[in-house]
Structure 1
Amino acid sequence: MARDVREHLVVAGMWSRRRIVGEAILAPFLALMATLGVLGDGVFAIVAVAVVAVALSLLRRAFPTTVLVLTGAIAAVSGGFWALLMLAGWSAGPRIKAPRRALAAFAISYALYAGLSALQEHSGLTAMQTLVFTTLAFLATTVVPGLAARYRTQRRTLMHALHEHNAQLLREREIIASHTRLRERQRIAQDMHDSLGHQLALIAVHTGALEVDRTLTDGQREAVAVLRQASVAAMHELREAVGILRDGTYAQEHESESAAATRGVPGIDGLVEASRAAGADVKLRQEGETRSLAPAADHAAYRIVQEALTNALKHAQGASITVELRYEPDSLVVEVANGPAPVPADGGSRVVVSGGQGLTGLQERARLVGGMVHAGPVAGGGFRVAGVLPYSGRGGTPDASPTTFVDGGSDFRGQSERASNGDGGEVIDWSGSPDRQKELDRAMGNKKKGVVIGCGIAAAVVVGLVVLAVVAVVALVNESDNAMIEPSVYKSMKVGEAEADVRDKLPDGDSFLTEGLDSDGPAEPKGANCLVLMSTEIPDSLDDEPVFRFCFKDGKLIEKRSYTIKS
């Protein structure tokens, strides 16, 4: 039994800091309310009642049934325990799990409360009045709080279960969508590998054969070498793209450090040399102290230069091109500008096929690393592509400045590292509380329903208290009718009248209001039977209580007296 009590009292999470503070405030308040009913019974009684109230308050959660029953019995004897009885009902309602056990606990508590209240000698109420009064009091102070707390707990449990079920459905839906995306990406990767891979392989083989052809001039052999290198680089990039489409990790797991370096800022030199080999006039300038970038930003810089050079070679053949890398304090500025395209000697026009998606892709790539890209014509003709890439946007080096120019996390497509699950879908955070799923809350309409139910419970409590107050007022009026008379009635009574006639004009005096009035008055005539009543007259002092006494003997009124006692 001791072990069971200890396990109940030291349950994990039961004594949190918040509860300790709450109990430290609540327990003294309940003890104070309980001692109000025994203020005139001595210091020992006050201390004992306070200790009992504090103990029951602290144990109400660990032993809800026991505390409810004991508090119901004590509240019937000491009226100061009504606040603790209300709190015991609130705590017992949700913590007594089995409905039958909860019903039995409240029934036993009610039986003790009503039974012991009826046994109190100072009540002065009839048995039916006592039953009605105690029933209403128990309903208002114990049953209603218990039902409200039980409903609140059950509803929270149900909502938590619904949240968990909803979370599971969302997980399953995301898994199905993820599998669908992966299957489609694998199909696309397979198609790219079978079609483009075969064609690029043929180009690489044929250009390799042409490169060793002795009939070609040196200039032709250099052009063929450029084509072969471009086809080989395209093969590598196609393999990288296929790997990413298949599992999203090919580039990080399979690409060598040297290959990765050629697709970053160090690889820009290779792009410039390849463009020069193709006959373009390209200049490379670099300003500032070289600093490292995050892998994604490093790759973005390479792609910006690559796409800008490709566009310049397609749309402005023969124009001079300038590639500039400027290492600013907070970011790397990549700028590629070309002059106006020379007019062909035949005066004709060149037809260039372009998909129009390259610059859009650059802007998206830069946005995902927290940077930006601007492209447009310049004064005097020509075109310029400029990108600003922070040293540390997302995934940067620890010692880099946390500069971010564009927030990619707010994008609704969920394409940033923070919102991507690796296969293009959005990641749902399941680590938090289910209460964060606001969609289910809105669908359930929990706030409106909670307000309506709460108002209904409050209205029921108010109605119960009003009925209780009305019953108490009616009972008090009845008691006063049985215990009080007007001074004029007292004066109209004559000594020597028949006892039956006098008693017909007076109330019976059977009320708790008249208890103790006969003990403080003058001595009664020997052998007489006296009736003591209160006066409806308001005394000058609140400590004075005017009293009328009628004494009967041998069937006649032998004495009537009016005196004042100290209340």
Structure 2
Amino acid sequence: MLAGDLALAGVLVLIGLGVEDIDNGSAARMLASAVAVVVLTLLRRRLPVSTLVAGSVVGVYLPGAFLVAIPLGWSAGRRIVGVGRALGAFTGAFALAVVLSVVKEWSQGRAVLIVVFSALMFLAMVVMPGLASRYWSQRHTLLRALQERNAQLLRERAMVAGQARLRERQRIAQDMHDSLGHQLALISVHTGALEVDPVLTDRQREAVGVLRQASVAAMHELREVVGILRDGVEAPLPVEEAQPAARGVAGIAGIVESARSAGTDVRLTTAGQPRPLVAACDHAAYRIAQEALTNAYKHAPGAPITVELRYEDDSLVVEIANGPAAGPGAGEVVSGGQGLTGLRERARLVGGMVYAGTAEGGGFRVAGVLPYGTEPAGAEEAGPGAVADDFGQQVQARTLSGNAGPVDWDAVDRKLLNGSRVGGVTLGCGIAVAAVVVLLIVIGAAVALLVGSVSDATIGRAEYDEIQVGEPESAVRSRLPSGDTILTDGLDRKGPPIPRGASCLALLAEGGGDWDSDSVFRFCFKDGKLVEKQAYEAKQ
């Protein structure tokens, strides 16, 4: 900010020195103009009212510092708090500039022209930048307030949604605990009692033990799921209870061994160089093997099952296949109907896929392809505008084009801020252009008025010479223009002393004068007669 102000001051100083040189300003006045520009530019942000008033005074007496009024008006319009205070500051600066200009040029006798010119210059160089700056500042403040309110609403909505999800999770967790927990506890108790029944054979007792261990493991997993649903963290397990089997690729051997213990013909093979998987893919591989083995138990009892783990170059393939059922099923099969659907969804979320279908020669085959990588599916495609739902799915956020999905509020904020900056610059340029156009129109109208009044303010040398002192005033005035224009205002007082008691008519000489002086013909009347006529040069 300081560097920008210094650069602006440097540019204004260079332009001001050029203006002072054209106006034949002294070295002291050039130095004063440069110092005034630098000081006012550096202080305009901290003291907007004082610098605005001081700039109005300095611009009257130091032509090289008049351009500093533009940044002073911009800062004052933006930084003065309160409409009344801003209006008072601009009005006071305007009145001070006009009064001082009239006082300075009073000897020239053109007060009306000075007032009009000063008002136009103040309007174009101070008022217009101030209005543009104030509008831009208020619009920027409004947009910032809207963005803060929008952020607050989003936070509140997220809190309400989080509370609703938490209540729903707690309800689901309570239902699971009350229903499944009770049933699993009954299974564990009854299988435990059946395991020590002396009537059973060793083979039967071993099978019942497998059932009891399965129910205990299921109870552990249910407790973890209930803990995650209720609190968002895994529930701790009691020390005295057995730890559940690892739910990853390393745990597949455990569920295969459990199936063998229950009397199922299961073979596990591994091909390729084992490689580590990320947690989500590791857990998905375990669930694919677990669900496929469960389906094989239910739908093809007695059929041999093969479980194969193939570590390929870019992915792990988990394949479970069973032959046709060895005999009729045990009766109605209890199934939720969502096992394979859940596996496909789980694999999709980690960037993999699951195939399920009949195998050659009968039987069924389930194969899952899981990547080794760390990014969930769709993370790269979703990009920075994506948001994750409660299940980890990546959903592409809706942009401002109107596509379906959640709103990308970051894009909205960026658009609002960019629109604010572009709109502020556009508005400032538009107001500046409008001010220039208005100024040009006024100047054009003034020029047209002056050109139209030239005939009322000028006479030729021959007309001046024809008029003789002593002629009646009425005869002389009838031969002369009226001289009632701003072009002749004050010219009668710039020549020799006016005779006592006389009234004079001053007119411009046609084609006379230089760029800094006017050739004047003056006629003075007293007691109804022309008592004096003078020709002289009047400094502008």
TM range (shorter): 0.7 to 0.9
Measured against aligned partners, the alpha-carbon deviations of 1:341-398 in whole angstroms (never above 9, x if no partner) come to 2463x7x99754433322222233334344443434455543222131324236xxxx
How many pairs does the alignment contain?
509
Structure 2 CA distance for aligned equivalents of residues 556 and 175 of structure 1: 98
Deviation at 1:45, TM superposition (A): 2.3
Residues of 1 paired with 2:345 and 2:9: CA distance?
62
2:14 to 17, 24, 32: 32
Tell whether the 8 Å contact from 1:296 to 1:369 is kept in structure 2 after alignment.
Answer: yes
Alignment of structure 1 residues 311-390 onto 2, 5 Å: 311-331=295-315, 333-342=316-325, 344=327, 352-381=333-362, 382-390=364-372
For 1:196 and 1:378, locate their aligned partners in 2 and report how far apart those are by CA, in whole Å: 34
Shift in Å, 1:106:
1.6
Whether contact under 8 Å (1:61, 1:95) holds in the other structure is: yes
Shift of 1:275: 1.8
By how many angstroms is 1:131 displaced?
3.0
Separation in structure 1 between the aligned mates of residue 306 and residue 74 of structure 2, nearest angstrom: 79
Instruction: Look up the match of 2:208.
Output: 224
CA gap of 1:338–1:556, structure 2 versus 1, over 3 A, is: same
The answer for the alignment partner of 2:402 in structure 1 is none
1:124–1:511 contact (8 Å) kept in structure 2: no
What aligned pairs does 1:362-511 form with structure 2 within 5 A after superposition?
Answer: 362-381=343-362, 382-393=364-375, 410=386, 413=389, 415-416=391-392, 438=413, 457=431, 461=435, 464-470=438-444, 472-474=446-448, 476-477=450-451, 480=454, 484-485=458-459, 489-495=460-466, 497-498=468-469, 500=473, 504-505=479-480, 508=483, 511=487
- Cα distance between partner residues in 1 of 2:15 and 2:106: 21
Shift of 1:512: 8.1
Identity rate, percent: 46
* Maintained 8 Å contact 2:247/2:283: yes
Matching residue of 1:149: 133
Query: Aligned letter for 1:172?
Result: E
Q: Deviations over 1:228-259 (max 9, x none)?
A: 111111111111111111111125x6699994
Selected match of 2:29 from 40, 45, 48: 45
| Structure 2 partner of 1:278 | 262
Asked whether the 8 Å contact 2:207–2:262 carries over to 1, the reply is yes
Q: Post-superposition shift, 1:326?
A: 3.0
2:104 counterpart SS class: coil
CA offsets per residue over residues 33-66 of structure 1, 9 Å max, x none?
Answer: 3334321113332233122212211211111111
Letter in 2 for 1:497: Q
Deviates more, 1:501-510 or 1:71-80: 501-510
Task: Tell me which residue corresponds to 2:229.
Answer: 245
How far the C-alpha of 1:151 sits from its partner, in A, is 2.8
In 2, the alpha carbon distance for the partners of 1:117 and 1:261 equals 95
Partners of 2:224 and 2:330 in 1: CA distance: 37
Q: Cα–Cα, structure 1 residues 551 and 192, in superposed 2: closer, same or farther, change >3 Å?
A: closer
Equivalent residues in 2 for 1:167-316 (5 A)? 167-251=151-235, 259=243, 262-316=246-300
Question: Could you tell me how far apart the structure 2 residues matched to 1:106 and 1:138 are?
Answer: 10
Letter aligned with residue 535 of structure 1: E
Question: SS in structure 1 opposite 2:33?
Answer: helix
Q: Give the direction of change, closer, same or farther, for the CA distance of 1:451–1:549 in structure 2 (3 Å limit).
A: closer
Give 1:203 shift: 0.5
Comparing 380-389 with 122-131, greater Cα deviation is found at 122-131
Match in the other structure for 1:5 = none
Q: CA, structure 1 residues 548+309, in 2 after alignment: closer, same or farther (shift >3 Å)?
A: same
Distance apart, 1:277 and its partner CA: 2.2
Q: Distance in 2 between matches of 1:405 and 1:338?
A: 34
Report if aligned partners of 2:524, 2:532 keep a CA contact under 8 Å in 1: yes
Under a length normalisation based on structure 1, what TM-score does the superposition of the two structures give? Answer: 0.74
Q: Distance in 2 between matches of 1:190 and 1:363?
A: 27
Q: Equivalent residue of 2:25, what SS?
A: coil
Question: Any idea what SS the aligned residue of 2:267 has?
Answer: strand
2:91 paired residue number: 107
The alpha carbon displacement at 1:314 in A equals 2.3
Preserved contact between residue 110 and residue 490 of structure 2 (Cα < 8 Å): no
Structure 1 residues 414 and 451 mapped into 2: Cα distance closer, same or farther (>3 Å)?
Answer: farther
Show CA shifts across 1:458-489 (max 9, x none): 6863564345424542565478556644xxx4
Partner of 1:535: 510
Amino acid corresponding to residue 144 of structure 1 in structure 2: M
Question: How far apart, CA to CA, are the structure 2 residues paired with 1:215 and 1:137?
Answer: 115
CA contact (8 A) 1:163 1:440 kept: no
Measured after TM superposition, the shift of residue 121 of structure 1 is 2.4
SS at match of 1:119: helix
Supply the distance in 2 between the matched residues of 1:99 and 1:278 (Cα, whole angstroms).
87
Distance 1:474 1:74, change over 3 A: farther
CA contact (8 A) 1:86 1:142 kept: yes
Identify the range of structure 1 (333-342 vs 369-378) with the bigger mean alpha-carbon deviation.
369-378
**Alignment check: 8 A CA contact 2:344 2:354 kept:** yes
Change (3 A) 1:447 1:42: closer
Deviations, residues 392-426 of structure 1 (Å, cap 9, x unaligned): 236xxxxxxx997986994673532999xxxxxxx
Q: TM-score, normalised by structure 2?
A: 0.77
Query: How far apart, CA to CA, are the structure 2 residues paired with 1:149 and 1:550?
Result: 51
Q: How far does residue 118 in structure 1 lie from its aligned partner after superposition?
A: 1.3
Distance in 1 of aligned mates of 2:457 and 2:516: 16
| Superposed CA offset, 1:291-328 (max 9, x none) | 33333332222112111211222233333332222334
The 1:164–1:385 alpha-carbon spacing in structure 2 relative to 1, beyond 3 Å, is: same
